[in-house]
Structure 1
Amino acid sequence: MTGRRIVSISLPRLAIESWQSRATRRGDAWPEDIPLALAAPGPHGPVIHAANRAAERAGARIGTRAVDSRAICPALHIEPAEPERDAARLARLAFWARRWGPYSTPDGDDGIILDTTGAAHLFGGEAAMLAEIQAGFARAGLTARLALAPTRGAAWALARFGPERAICTDPLPALAPLPVAGLRLSGETLLLLRRLGLKTIGDLAAIPRLSLMRRFARAEPQDNPLVRLDQALGRAAEPLDAPEPAPEFAAEARLAEPVMDPSDWLPGLLADLCAQMAAADRGCRRLCLSVFRVDGERRDIRVAMAAPTRDPGHLLRLFDGRLERLDPGYGFDLIRLAAEAVEPLAQAQPGLDGAAPTGLALARLVDRLAARFGAQTISRPLPRESHVPERAEAPGPPLAATPAPPARPDRPIRLLNPPEEIRVLYAIPEGPPAQFVWRRQTLRVARHAGPERIAPEWWHDRPGTRLRDYFRIEDDSGLRLWIYREGLVHDGRGGAPRWFLHGIFA
């Protein structure tokens, strides 16, 4: 037995409750005490697809013909069912339920399977988690029955035929008293099992397998009682296929003939995608270009943006030099462009001269550099709380939300790491050196400003660290440098002061 924990969510009244919810939003709420049924096409006329409680009390049964139900209950009101809208809502609910677990998928027409392995402690335990899930669906106007078990089959059976909010650790004792309908079998197979006298799952488990294997040898795996029993008891694997949600905005081109290069179709796809996002006042932070080869292979190229955008020209530039890396094989016959990360983005106000706003210039520059060289090879400075220049900034990711620190006019943009020691030939008392040697060049100071004193940080520096006096100097050629004197004469922390060149002004 594995350590998996699977939650099965049964929504037995999804169709009728969804119809009533849509009617309420239209301002046409249906009273609960008036019989209402939804009808779907059947082989011999419309059949009852769903019914409210008043209709059920009046004799309407799911699967019976609508005319027969109306004969039993003349006051029964019948509306057409909307299975496609119900299926779409069930898919949305399945993704919504991922707040309680990382993997979920619709289960049939009226259920959801949710993998909560290792997540129950985040909600106060398994019992508290089931209660919270049921309360969440109740707030959405849906009746839900839940169960938790180590296998998908056991959770499904307990959610529909077991006690309320059942929690199972050992499937066989929990499933034994339940009817064989809990094994997700077809009506014909259930009828055959009842004729054999096998009414419960415990009865089926007690029968020798050899005789049942002969009888169900030609049955499909999904309708074989032994296969379903093994899946429910954890003896056979039953993987959970949890698809990712479909992108909110996407554009695709289906090609009549395979092509080797998708470049010609990319501008049109970007224009279509950006028009969709503009209509919804949205912008994207990540794009995925997918090309489908004729041999069944798929290739993806993703680009990320520092700020949400829907400018097709800017997005097109991010793919420069990257399409050549695609292996076309025998060609592509389908090209799809999807926005994977979407955020609100209102319309921007252009300037009085008609020019586009320039506030995103830095973000777009970062986008192009990251697309060309890779996001991991580019960094931007982030401010840190320190007076020591080499500690005042730290490298950060290019797409960080934290803005870069503003440049100080009295500090150089380029710092030498580590600072380079200079040999002083003549120094002015309490001032900068009048002449010094740096990299075998003798420089004479023409102008200077300072000093700016920076004391050691006792919480970082070791005892005996000397203070610094910084000077901004300019030589005869106009070269502007940032130098400092480390220590003072007779400061008791070493010998004579030393001089270093720390930065170069632009």
Structure 2
Amino acid sequence: MAIWCARLSVDRWRLSLAPNGEGVERGCGPDAEPTVLITETAHGPRVDAVNDAGALAGAQPGMMLADARTLCPQIQTAPADPAGDLAFLEKLAIWAQRWGPWSALDPPDGVLVDITAAAHLFGGERRLLDDVDAAFAKRKLTVRAGIAPTAGAAWAMAHYGAQNRGARLILGGHEDPMRRLADFPVAALRLDGDVLTVLRRLGLKRLGDLADITQGAVNRSEAAARDALHRRFRNRKSPSANPLIRLDQILGRVPEPLLPVVQHTMPLVQRRLMEPLRHRSLLDQVLADLATDMARELEGRGEGARRLDLGLWRVDGEVIVRRLEMAAATREPAHINRLFAEKLEGIDAGFGIETVRLRASWAEPMDVDQRDVEEAAERHGTSLAACLDRLSVRLGPSAVRRPIPYASHLPERSQIWHHPLSPESAAHAIVEPRARPLKLLDRPERIAVLYASPDGYPQRFRWRGKVHEVNRVEGPERIAPEWWREKSTVRLRDYYRIEDDKGRRYWMYRHGLATDGRGGMPDWFLQGLYA
């Protein structure tokens, strides 16, 4: 079953203005004035959705706001919220599992529900559609639902099926699908806009026209058209760019993989208090109990918390929320209590707090407690992750940074500063470790080097006004420039580990070769110092 939320953005905007559903009927409330939902683009505001009054005034999705105001100068605007629409659609997909064992997203405004062997529980497919219409009408959402043996056919029925009766949006398994879908436009194949333009230029406007060409040819012209169609789209592997694949999916010849939406419940513990709390000491005791319960809950799931939300419900109805983010997953109650102690300073309990709730809104898999060195350090307050958590709570998360390895062979780019509470990106891969000095200069400093030949080992060098005699040399280690981000004339580097006559060790490199044809004689730079 395909459920199409035909006015998802507009319905969400309208319900946000009237959350109780009052005044949201057609012709009154927010729909009484022409309104469009817009998105800012490089060429100006673009219309993403239009309410009924705006559509009557001539506004259409996809046009620029300036064009819409030319047709209707008094049109009102509101910002579009694509991310909010997608989040709402995910919740809707989970809620729609009341009609089937699993559901999948059909962005940007649809949901697919598997109702195999489930329709009889509602009295048949027709009554199932009636139940869907009633459930969404109760929530003031405009939807159309269609049922078919395949996901593509159900989508086509919901979007382009006849609207007079619910039974007309049902394609039975015993029916010939092309007989019902032949008059549907080629847009029912869920194709990209440029592909639809190509099909229209070829004179293919209905599914029946496309099916006749792909299945067989009556005359020579149809055979030529079929061969041209196969040649044009045979190399396109994406279903949305290949009408032949989409048609086979609708007819059930090719399977269409769908990704089910799985509800992931967040760990939550709470206390409903018999007497409201007004003193900080009692609140700390309740928080300690909740932290212990949360640790037990997380341990049972094999996870650790990265973000915790503490909600305090006061007697007068006001809710106080405090959020805590941590640099590493944890389920240590003492650590959680210590961090929340900073967050609870200055809490106004009013006439008392009657409910305390702790929820882990971000959890990550965590290994079983092995009592290792890191855990022992955390128990004594010396863990790096615990230190980052304390600094973030006291100074603010934007005031703390930590260095992490970065996928670059150039020493000055081999690490970047990262937010301590954000997960590391997969792009921050660790390059093969090599011997590097503990101290790198902020910028490589030019030095004067005396050597036997332009490409030979250095024998003496001058750095910061002092001359150093070279006793030992190791190298070179050659590092090529990053050609994908630098000019082709950048020279390579040959790195050397140098020890002078006083036992001090340096890390320097020769920038270029005398024979590379990318400049004159090579320059020397000192970049690091060994301890």
Q: Provide the TM-score with structure 2 as the length reference.
A: 0.47
- Provide the TM-score with structure 1 as the length reference: 0.49
Q: Which has the higher helix share?
A: 2
Q: Pick the structure with greater CA Rg.
A: 1
